[in-house]
Structure 1
Amino acid sequence: MPVVNRIADYAADMTAWRRHLHTIPELGFDCPKTAAYIAERLREFGVDEVHEGIAQTGIVAIVQGSAPGPTIGLRADFDALPITEATGLEYASTHDGKMHACGHDGHTTMLLGAARYLAETRNFAGRVALIFQPAEEEGGGAGVMVQDGLMDRFDIGQVYALHNAPGFDEGAFYTTPGPLMAAVDSFHVHVQGVGGHGAMPHDTRDPVMAACGIATAFQTIVSRNNYALDDLVISVTQIHAGTVNNVIPDTAYLNGTIRTFDPKVQAMVKERMAAIVAGQAASYGVTAELEYETGYPATVNDPDKTAFAAEVARDVAGAGRVVAEAGREMGAEDFAYMLQERPGAYLFLGQGDGAGLHHPKYDFNDEIAPVGASFFARVVERAQPLAGTEA
């Protein structure tokens, strides 16, 4: 089955929804305009229940099927990024310094399209819980929704999500069973030295040299402390120190990201970082403090649900346009929290050529919205079929 005909019929409406959402990007949990627009559309579609205010601005809408049965969850994120848009589009952001640069406006549109179709047809048993989530980019909105009782409150038994993928064939799907995306942690190192004249370094305790030593030594964790076949990334992304060319400053600061899959590797990194910071500080005669922040866990797809989702994707996109063993990557995603609670799968949907995610010229490809909406709708119909309609 290709794109569902009924969903294709309102592709123009979906484009209009998406482009409106693109004009009003909001950050984190503070997404009142976005949430209000989503709730308004859901009520227009005639869903049975609209539950607002979950994780501040999150929404769960319930659609009842035509027979009793379990509840399946479908999730879309809707927060934006603190980026100034540079697309020049007529529907560009109207909120200065904020932009839908990751396609969450498109994710929301795909789930709205599925919501409209499912509310019209109800060609499934049980219920579907349509989860519209804030704060994916920062804040772990999925985790907060779970903490607010999402899974138990709505009796969700399995859960699925999609993310657009620039640079991959338009309308094609890819995923993998088991670990798909990495856990993400961050570190901050504050170095306190003794500043002075740049021409008299012997009178100082140079925090810049200590910061450079710490940054270099951190890379030995990957090359000398970690088993080579265990995926690990440590990236120092910021070093800040000093103001002018002839003054050695008092302080320096380092920041960066850590990506892992194995909790044992994660624990090793934290331990080694603490030892390196202490040892380097002592060797340079400074003091240094490490702040290690644990972030989103690894995104781990349930193997059986992933195989099922891939089969549904083949129904929509065609057998040759689904890669079900694509391998894992070092990006991160807070849908991981939902997958820790319930079995399910996370898939990527190609959107063709164009600027990459988190780029100021990125724009979601509206042509793939009916594809994603059809996938969501077919997941429900295939997972919870009415008697006599099994595929």
Structure 2
Amino acid sequence: MPVINRIADFADDMKTWRRHLHAHPELQFDCHNTAAFVVARLKDFGVDEIHEGIATSGVVAIINGQGDGPTIGLRADMDALPMQEETGLPHASTVPGKMHACGHDGHTTMLLGAARYLAETRNFSGRVALIFQPAEEGGGGAGVMVEEGALDRFEIAQVYALHNVPGLPVGQFQTVPGPIMAAVDTFYIHVKGRGGHGAYPQDTIDPLIAAVGMVQAIQTIISRNHDGRKDLVVSVTQIHSGSADNIIPETAFINGTVRSFDKDVQALVMERLEAIVMGQAASYGVSVEYRYEKGYPATVNDPEKTQFAAEVAQEVAGEAGVNIAQIPEMGAEDFAYFLEERPGAYLFVGNGDTAGLHNTKFDFDDETASAGASFFARIVERAQPVA
């Protein structure tokens, strides 16, 4: 079964919605105008319930099917990125310094397309909860929705999400059981020594030497402490210090990111990082302020739900159009918070030969919307068939 015919019928409407959203991007939790647009369309479709103001600007809409049954959740993120668009397209961002460079305008459109179809046909039992989420790009809007009790409030039993991916042919899908996206953590190291004249280093305590020692020692976490059979990235991404060639500075700053899938690996990194920083500080005679911040957890697909989702995707894209052995990504995704609480799956859908994500020349391919909306619609019909 390819793209659902009824969804194909209103593909032009989806293109109009998507391009409106693209031209009017909003950041993080401040997605109020986007949410208002979503709510207006949902009212047009005749959904049964609309709940606003969740996680500040999030929306959950309910569509009742035929007869009793559980509730299945479908999620789309709504927020854009703080970037200046350089596509030159007629529907380019009208807001300076903001653009939909990750395709969340397309994700919202796919879920709106599924909502229209499901509200018309209601060929399922129980209920579907349509989750329009703010603040995926920092802020962890999914986590806030979970904290506010959205999954419990709407009795969501399982949950699914899609993300477009450039480079994969339009309408093809890929996913993997188990971890699919990494946990993302950040570390901050402020080193303080005693500054002075570069000609008299004996009168100083050089924070640069200490910082260099810390950065070199941090590399040993992967090479000497970590089990190489488990994925891990530890990257130092910033070192800042100094102001002139003849001044030994007072301070230095180190910043970096940690990506992992396994909580034991994450714990190992946290332990070793602190030990290295404090040990190096003592050996060089500097003081440090050290902070490790846990970010989004790993996005872990439920194996059974992933297999089911892949079978549904095959109905849309054909068997050859679905890869269920995707290599896990070291990027992060706050849908992880939903999957920590409920079984479900996160899948990628092809966006064709476009610029990469988080690129100033990126644009969502409108042909992708019909495939994504069809997947969302069919997963509801398959998961909760009419008795």
TM-score tier after normalising by the smaller chain length: over 0.9
Distance across 2 between alignment mates of 1:160 and 1:293 = 27
Structure 1 counterpart of 2:139: 139
Asked whether 1:304 is paired with 2:304, we answer: yes
Structure 1 counterpart of 2:177: 177
Structure 1 counterpart of 2:342: 342
8 A Cα contact 1:168 1:350, kept in partner: yes
Using the aligned pairs only, state the percent identity: 69
SS, match of residue 67 in structure 1: coil
8 A Cα contact 1:179 1:301, kept in partner: yes
Distance across 1 between alignment mates of 2:106 and 2:248 = 49
Question: What whole-Å deviation, never above 9, does each CA across 1:165-209 have from its counterpart, x for those lacking one?
Answer: 111122110000111111111100001111122233222212122
Segments of structure 2 that go 5 or more residues without pairing to the other structure are none
Q: Which runs of 4+ in 1 moved over 4 A?
A: none
Structure 1 counterpart of 2:330: 330
Aligned partner letter, 2:346:
Y
Distance across 1 between alignment mates of 2:260 and 2:386 = 42
SS, match of residue 369 in structure 2: helix
Distance across 1 between alignment mates of 2:294 and 2:143 = 13
SS, match of residue 125 in structure 1: coil
Distance across 2 between alignment mates of 1:27 and 1:203 = 49
SS, match of residue 211 in structure 1: helix
8 A Cα contact 1:28 1:80, kept in partner: yes
Aligned partner letter, 2:198:
G
Aligned partner letter, 2:181:
M
Aligned partner letter, 2:378:
R
Aligned partner letter, 2:5:
N
SS, match of residue 164 in structure 2: strand
Structure 2 counterpart of 1:84: 84
TM-aligned CA deviation for residue 243 of structure 1: 2.2
Distance across 2 between alignment mates of 1:44 and 1:149 = 27
Aligned partner letter, 1:368:
T
Query: 5 Å matches for 1:16-31?
Result: 16-31=16-31
8 A Cα contact 1:277 1:289, kept in partner: no
Query: 5 Å matches for 1:68-107?
Result: 68-107=68-107
Structure 2 counterpart of 1:119: 119
Question: What whole-Å deviation, never above 9, does each CA across 1:201-223 have from its counterpart, x for those lacking one?
Answer: 22221212222221121111011
Structure 1 counterpart of 2:316: 316
SS, match of residue 69 in structure 1: coil
TM-aligned CA deviation for residue 290 of structure 1: 1.2
SS, match of residue 132 in structure 1: strand
Aligned partner letter, 1:88:
G
Distance across 2 between alignment mates of 1:307 and 1:126 = 22
**Bigger shift: 332-341 or 86-95?**
86-95
Distance across 1 between alignment mates of 2:214 and 2:85 = 36
Structure 2 counterpart of 1:277: 277
8 A Cα contact 1:64 1:126, kept in partner: yes
SS, match of residue 123 in structure 2: coil
Structure 2 counterpart of 1:262: 262
Distance across 1 between alignment mates of 2:87 and 2:341 = 38
SS, match of residue 219 in structure 2: helix
Q: How many residues align?
A: 387
Distance across 1 between alignment mates of 2:108 and 2:244 = 48
| Structural RMSD (CA) | 1.0
Asked whether 1:45 is paired with 2:45, we answer: yes
**Bigger shift: 273-282 or 237-246?**
237-246
Distance across 2 between alignment mates of 1:87 and 1:335 = 28
Asked whether 1:373 is paired with 2:373, we answer: yes
Distance across 1 between alignment mates of 2:238 and 2:11 = 43
Structure 1 counterpart of 2:58: 58
Distance across 1 between alignment mates of 2:211 and 2:355 = 34
TM score, norm. by length of structure 2: 0.98
Aligned partner letter, 1:28:
Q
Aligned partner letter, 2:221:
I
Query: 5 Å matches for 1:178-257?
Result: 178-257=178-257
8 A Cα contact 1:73 1:157, kept in partner: yes
**Bigger shift: 236-245 or 138-147?**
236-245
TM-aligned CA deviation for residue 327 of structure 1: 2.8
Structure 2 counterpart of 1:157: 157
